[in-house]
Amino acid sequence: MEAAATTCFRHPSYETGVSCTRCERFICPDCMREAAVGHHCVECVKEGRRSVRQPRTVFGGAVSRGAVPIVTYVLMGLNILAYVGELIRPDIVDRFGMTGAGLVGPDGSRYIYTGIDFHSVDVIGVVDGEWYRLLTGAFLHLPPGESSFGSLPFGVLHIVFNMYALWNLGRVVEAQLGRVRYLVLYLLSALGGSVLVYLIAPLDNSVGASGAVFGLAASFYVISRRLGRDMRAVNRFLAGFLVWMVISAGFTSWQGHLGGLLTGAAVTVVYAYAPAQRRTTVQAAVCVVVFAVLMLLVVLKTSALTG
C-alpha cells in the first residue's frame, strides 16, 4: 500500500519529506532554517529567539549593533516641525515658549506677579497654571531675525547648533541607554532647564532645546567615565560646552543650560551605577523622584511669586 504524501504544515500544496528536528512538523525549503542538527521551522526559530536573553549595556539599554537611533531622529523632527510652525505662525513662540511669571499691561510692560490686584493686566506663564510651557518651550527656537550675534542671524543658528549637537550626542547616548531611558533623560533634562529658568529668572522668555542638549552632554561625560574611556578628549569636549554656556549667557538662557546639565548628570549617574539586580526598578524610582522634586520646586516658586 502506497504511503500518504507528506506536505509542509505552512504550505500544504508543497510535498516534502523533511521535518523540523524540534517540533517534528514537515517543512518545505522556504520554511527551513539551518540548525546545529538538521533544520528548524520558522516558528521554532522565533520561539528560540524569544527564550534567549537579550544582551544589555551596563546602563540597561539593549545591545543592538547598527540600530537606527529612532528617538534621536524623532526628537529632531519634532524640533524642526515646530520651527516650521513658528515661521508660519510666529505667535506660537509667545503662546508656548517658556515664560515663568509676569503681568502684561496694555502697553506691553511686564511686572513680577506678587499677588497685587493690578487693573487691566493679564497674568501669564507658569505662574498662571501654564505648566506645559516647561516642556513646550524646549521644542521651540528663536525665529529668524529675533536676535543677532555679530552679523549673523542667531535665530536660525539657534536651531542649527542645537540640532547638530543633538544629532551627534543623541546617537551615542541612545545606543548606550536604550530608547526609553534615553527619552526619559532628554525630557527630564529639558524640564530641569526650564525649572531653573523659572527659579532664577521667572520673567525671562526662554526657548530652545539647549537644556536637553546640555543634559545629553553631561550624560555623555558620565557614560564615558563609566565605560572607562580615555577622558582627555571627553574633558575637552565638556569644557567646550561649559565655555559655550558662559559665552552664550548674553543672548541665551544660561539658567536653562545649567539646569539641563545638572539634571542630565544626576539621572545618568543613577543609570550608570544602579545595582544590576534591581537596575530598572532603581532607575525608574529615581527618575520619578527627580520629576517630583522639579515639580515641587515649581510649586514652591509659584507660591512665592503669588504671595
Contact 80, 159 (CB under 8 A): yes
Return the pLDDT at 233.
84
- What does the pLDDT read at residue 31? 84
The per-residue pLDDT for 45 is 80
Q: What's the pLDDT score for residue 297?
A: 96
Instruction: Cell numbers for 245, please give them.
Output: 554656556
Q: What is the pTM of this model?
A: 0.78
Residue 152: the pLDDT is: 44
User: Which residues are registered as beta bridge partners of 19?
Assistant: 26
Residue 190 gets the label, from left (phi > 0), alpha (psi -120 to 50) or beta, of alpha
Distance CA 7, CA 99 (A): 70
Written as tens digits, the pLDDT of the chain (307 aa) is 345 668 888 888 887 878 888 887 888 888 888 777 778 888 888 877 765 566 677 777 776 666 788 999 999 999 999 999 988 998 888 889 898 877 766 666 666 555 555 444 577 889 888 999 999 999 998 877 655 444 445 668 888 889 999 999 999 999 899 999 999 999 999 999 999 999 998 888 888 899 999 999 999 999 998 888 788 888 888 888 788 777 766 667 789 999 999 999 999 999 999 888 888 999 999 999 999 999 999 999 998 888 7
DSSP conformation class of 253: -
Question: How far apart, in Å, are the Cα atoms of 204 and each of 196, 198, 260?
Answer: 11, 8, 17
Neighbours of 208 (CB within 10 A): 26
Alpha-carbon distances, residue 38 vs 28, 42, 212 (angstroms): 13, 13, 52
Q: How crowded is the C-beta side of 281, counted as CA atoms within 13 Å? A: 4
Residue 39 host element (H or E): strand 39-40
Q: What pairs with residue 37 in β-bridges?
A: none
Contacting residues for 258 by C-beta, under 8 A, at least 6 apart: 193, 196, 214, 245
Q: Which residues contact 138 (CB under 8 A, 6 or more apart)?
A: 98, 190, 191, 193, 194, 207, 208, 209, 211, 212
- Domains of the chain by residue range: 1-52, 70-90+137-301
Whether residue 228 contacts residue 247, with contact meaning beta carbons closer than 8 Å, is answered with: no
Tally of CA atoms within 13 A in the half-sphere of 240 that contains its CB: 9
CATH 1.50.40.10 holds for 70-90+137-301: no
- 52 CA to centre of own chain: 29
The per-residue pLDDT for 100 is 85
**Residues pairing with 62 in the sheet:** 56
- List helix spans (H) across 201-278: 210-226, 231-247, 254-273
Provide the β-strand partners of residue 206.
Answer: 98
Q: What is the pLDDT of residue 201?
A: 86
